[in-house]
Structure 1
Amino acid sequence: MPQDPNDEPASVLLERIKAEKERLIKEGKIKRSKKSGSSDTLHYENVPFEVPSSWVWCRLEDITVLIEDCPHTTAKDEGKGYPLVRTPNIGEGQLLLDGVHRVSKEVYDKRNVRAVPQVDDIIYAREAPAGNVAVIRENEQVCLGQRTVLIRPMNTLIDSVWLTYAMLTPYSRNHLISKATGSTVTHVNMASIRPFDLPLPPLSEQHRIVAEIKRWFALIDQIEQGKADLQTIIKQTKSKILDLAIHGKLVPQDPNDEPAIELLKRINPDFTPCDNEHYQNLSKGWATCRLEDIVDYEQPTAYIVNSTSYNDTYPIPVLTAGKSFIIGHTNEVEGIYSNLPCIIFDDFTTDSKLVEFSFKVKSSAMKILQVKKGIEIDFVAMFMSITRLIGDTHKRYWISEYSKLVIPVPPHAEQKRIIDAVYKAFTKLDTIMESL
C-alpha cells in the first residue's frame, strides 16, 4: 500500500520506544530484557527482504515490554471459572474461546504469577502446532495454558493487532518454525522468539495496514458466506430436481410411450398397482408399485473384507452406504462384488448409494440391490436418495419397511429421459460447485 511521506519514520518510533522502556525500567514497572545480542543497529547488511525507506528492521524484544513463557505444567478443566487458553484456543488473529477449558481463581493466580494477560496482549502458540497468534481483544481475564507465550507490545507505540498480523505472515511463521526443535513434538524456543527480526512500519502505517487487512478480511468473510449459501442452494436445487423427477414433472410425457403398467405386468403377470394417496395425481402412463416388486436384494456376507489394514495404494475399495462411502482400499482378491451397477443400502440408516465399480464391503449392515429388467437402476437410486426412513430403534429396515415403500414408475422410455435430464442439470450444478 502507498506510503505517507508525512509519517514519523519507524527509526524515530523505535527511539521513542527505547526511551519509554528505559523510563519504565527506572520506575520499576518492567524489567530489562536479557538480550541475546545488540539490537542498536537499525540497518542490517543482510536483511531478509527490502522494506520501504520509512520502515526499519528490529527485534521483537525491541518493541515489547514482556515476552513471557507460560507455566510448563498442565491444568485440568474444572468446568467453570477463568478461560484456560491452550494452543487449540489460539486462532489466526483471535482467541477461540467456545468450549474452552476453565480453571479456578486459585489455579489462575498460580499460573499467571509472572504475568497477568491483559487486553491487547498477544498469545503465541509455540507447540502443537507452533505458529498461531491471537490478540486478547475482549476484556476477559484469561489464564495461560501450556505451550503458550505471552507477548506485550509497547503500549500506545505499537499496534498490537498489527503485530499479531505481522507474526502470522508466512515470513514470520516459517522463520520461527524453522528454528523449532524436538523430534516427537517440535517447539519454538524462547531464545528464538525474543530476538526474532521483523520489519517495523511507522505507527500511522501500522494503523492503516490493520484497517486494510480488516477490510479485506470482511470482504473474504462475505464471499465465504456467499459461497456457503450458494452451496446450500445447489444442494436444495438438486433435491428439488429429484423430487420433480419422481413426480413426473421434470420432462414432458410422450403419449407414444408404452405405459408403465405393461412393463410391471411383464415383470409379474399378477401385478396389481398400489393405491397410494401421495401419488394420486400420477402422470399419464405412470404406475405405482412397491420397491420389492422391482428390486431384488442380496446379503453382503460373501463380500465382507477380511482385514481392515487398508491402504490407498490397494486396488479394491471397501464401501459403506453411509456418508463415508469409501472407507479404505484392500488388496484382497476373493469375494469382490462385480455385478454392476448396483445400489448399496444401509439397513440401519436407510442411506443408499449407486455403485458402478467393483468393491468389497465393511460389514453385513447393508443390502446389495439389483433392479428387474426394464427398470432403470439410476431412476430407483434417485428415488431412494431422497426417500429415507429414520426411526428411534436400531433395527434393519429393508425387509420390514423400506422395501414396502411405494415408488412411482414412469414408462421405460421416460425413465431414460428423466435420467438424462437429471444428469445434465447435476453436471452444470457440479461445475458451479467446483468453481466456488
Structure 2
Amino acid sequence: MLPQGWEWSKLEDIVSFGGGKTPSMDNREYWDNGKHLWVTSKDMKCSHITNSLMKITDKALEGMTLYEKGTLLMVTRSGILRHTLPLSILEKPATVNQDLKIISPHIQELSEYLYVIIKANEHIILKEYHKDGTTVDSIDFDKFRCLPIPIPPLAEQQRIVVEIEKWFALINQIEQGKADLQTIIKQAKSKILDLAIHGKLVQQDPNDEPAIELLKRINPDFTPCDNGHYTQLPDGWTITTLKDLCENINGLWKGKKEPFVNVGVIRNANFTKDFKLDYSNIEYIDVEQRTFAKRHLINGDLIVEKSGGSDNNPVGRTILYEGESGIFSFSNFTMALRIRYNDTVLSKYLYYYILAKYQTGAMRLMQTQTTGLHNLILDKFLLMSICLPPLYEQRRIIDRIETIFTTLGAIMESL
C-alpha cells in the first residue's frame, strides 16, 4: 500500500525508450578528432556520465541520436548482468552503442528518482527479467518496460533523492575509511616485520646464547661474515645467508618410471595473498615414487616461488609448510628451503624475515625475465644476508609478531 499522494505507474508510461549503434570503425571520418560522447558499457562505471572513452565526429552524428542531459543509460547486453545492473545518468549530451538502452523521462526532474528506484530493484530485475536462451547475458526489455514504479509527489521525490544522497555520501566515506584502514594495517604489518628483523621489536636478553653458537651447530664449517657494514646489529646477533642456513631442493617433475604414487603438489596457485598455504585447490597427480622420496615436504620447510610472478608481484613469495611430513610435494616452479638444523623456530623466523624483505621490494632485484616469465636469480636469493638473532630471541620475536598480527587480522575481518 502506497503512502497518501503516491501512485503506481508502469515505467513505459512515464518515459520513452531509445537505443544506439556503432558507426563503422573502418570509416575514419566517423572517429578522427571526434568530440561527441559515444557511451558504451565500458563507460558505465559511475552513477553520472561526464565523459566517454571514445568520441564520434559531426559526420558520424548525422546517423545517430544525441540524447540530452538527464537521460538514463542502462546496460542490457553484457556478462556483467550476471551480478550487476549498470545504470547511469547523462551529465552531458551523448550518443550510445547497441549494448545500451536509453530511458528518457517525460519530465526531466524524474531522472534522479528513477535512478534510485531502478537500482533499488536491481536484484529483482537481474533475476526476473533475465533473458534465457541467448549467448550473451541480456535483459528482457519488453518485461522491463512494465516495471512498476511508485510515484510520489515531485517535492517528495526531491526530498527522497537528497536523503539518499546524504546516506550514500556517508557510506562512501565509511568505505573510503575502511580502505584507508586496510592500507594502514598492511603498512603496520610491514613496519612490524622490519622492526623484528632489525632487533627492535622485543628486548634483548644478555643471557641468551649468541646466534653464532647456533650457526656452529647448523654448520660446523661456518665462517662468520664481515659484520663491519652492520654496526647497528644487536648484541648476540650475527650475519649469515640463506645458503648457510638451508639446503635448497628443486621442485617436482612427474617422471615416467614405475612405481607411481598419488600425491598433492603445492603450486604457485596455492600461495594466498597473505603468504599462507591454501589447501582448498591442491592438485593430486601420479609421480615416480623415487622422485617423491627426494621431493616431499617436511614440517618446517619453506616453499619459495622461483618462476612465475609479474611486474607487480615479483617472484620470491615464500610460504611456511606446517603439516605432516611426507604427504605433499611441490612443483618445478617452486623450490623448498630446508633448515640444516632441525628447528621449526628458525624456519618460522626465516619465513617472517623473507616476508619482510619481499615487502620492501628486495625481490625485484633478485629476478630476471625470459620469454615473458619472471625467474628468481637463485644465487642472489640464496646469498641474501640474514640478520640472525639468538634462538630464544627468535621465539620472542615470533610470539610478538603473531600476537600483533592476530589483533590486526581481527580488525581486518571486522571491517
TM range (shorter): 0.7 to 0.9
Matched, 1:107 2:60: yes
1:61 to partner: Cα distance: 2.3
Q: Give, in whole Å, the separation in 2 of the partners of 1:369 and 1:425.
A: 26
Change (3 A) 1:231 1:205: same
Unaligned stretches of 5+ residues in structure 2: 256-261, 308-314
Matched residues in 1 for 2:32 and 2:188: separation? 43
1:263-309 Cα distance to aligned partner (Å, 9 max, x none): 111222232221245532211111111121101100103479xxxxx
What whole-Å deviation, never above 9, does each CA across 1:39-86 have from its counterpart, x for those lacking one?
xxxxxxxxxxx221221101112222x211334x68649586244322
- SS for the counterpart of 1:124 is strand
Match of 1:355? 321
Name the residue aligned to 1:15: none
Asked if structure 1 preserves the Cα contact closer than 8 Å seen for 2:265 and 2:285, the reply is: no
Equivalence map 1:21-420=2 (5 Å):
50-64=1-15, 66-71=16-21, 76=25, 81=34, 82-91=36-45, 93-95=47-49, 100-112=53-65, 116-128=66-78, 129-130=80-81, 131-137=85-91, 139=92, 141-156=93-108, 158-170=109-121, 173-175=123-125, 177-183=127-133, 184-276=135-227, 279-302=230-253, 316=264, 318-320=266-268, 328-332=281-285, 334=287, 335=292, 337-347=296-306, 349-357=315-323, 359-362=328-331, 364-373=332-341, 374=343, 376-387=346-357, 388-391=362-365, 393-394=368-369, 396-420=375-399
Structure holding more helix per residue: 2
- CA distance, structure 2, for counterparts of residue 424 and residue 233 of structure 1: 18
Native 8 Å contact 1:84 1:103 kept in 2: yes
User: 1:322-370, CA deviations, whole angstroms, 9 ceiling, x for partnerless residues?
Assistant: 76675943232544733223212223522222233554545x3332111
* 8 Å Cα contact 1:303/1:361 also seen in 2: no
Q: Report the Cα distance in structure 2 between the residues aligned to 1:224 and 1:246, rounded to whole angstroms.
A: 34
What is the DSSP-based 3-state SS (H/G/I as helix, E as strand, rest coil) of the residue aligned with 1:401?
A: helix
Scaled by the length of structure 2, the TM-score of the pair is 0.79
* Counterparts of 1:136 and 1:231, CA distance in 2: 33
Tell me the residue number matched to 1:23: none
Bigger CA drift: 121-130 or 395-404? 395-404
Q: Distance in 2 between matches of 1:379 and 1:127?
A: 53
Q: Counterpart of 1:199 in 2: which secondary structure?
A: strand
For 2:77, the aligned partner's letter is E
**1:176–1:192 Cα contact (<8 Å) kept:** no
Q: Tell me: CA distance 1:164–1:302, structure 2 relative to 1, closer, same or farther (3 Å).
A: same
In structure 2, relative to structure 1, the CA distance for the partners of 1:345 and 1:75 (3 Å cut) is farther
Structure possessing the higher radius of gyration over alpha carbons: 1
Structure 1 unaligned residues grouped into runs of 5+: 1-49, 305-313
Alpha-carbon spacing, 1:330–1:351, altered in 2? closer, same or farther (3 Å): closer
- Quick one: structure 1 residues 317 and 432, their matched pair in 2 at CA, closer, same or farther if it must change by over 3 Å? farther
1:239/1:386 contact within 8 Å kept:
yes
Aligned equivalents of 1:399, 1:92: Cα separation in 2: 46
**Aligned pair in 2 of structure 1 residues 97, 420: CA closer, same or farther (>3 Å)?**
farther
Aligned length: 367
**AA aligned opposite 1:414:** E
User: Deviations 1:10-34 (Å, cap 9, x if unpaired)?
Assistant: xxxxxxxxxxxxxxxxxxxxxxxxx
- Separation in structure 2 between the aligned mates of residue 143 and residue 265 of structure 1, nearest angstrom: 75
1:76-134 CA distances to partner (integer Å, 9 max, x unpaired)?
49586244322343246334857x2444443343232xxx2111011122221443221
> Residue deviations 1:126-146, cap 9 Å, x none?
221443221112x2x422112
CA contact (8 A) 1:317 1:328 kept: no
Secondary structure at the aligned position of 1:134 is classed as strand
Report the residue type matching 1:330 in the other structure: E
Cα separation, 2, equivalents of 1:278 and 1:221: 49
- Which structure has more strand as a fraction of its residues? 2
Aligned residue identity for 1:394: Q
Amino acid at match of 1:389: M
Instruction: Return the alpha-carbon distance in structure 2 between the equivalents of residues 281 and 51 of structure 1.
Output: 74
Rounded to whole Å, the distance in 2 between the matches of 1:221 and 1:162 is 20
Deviation at 1:243, TM superposition (A): 1.0
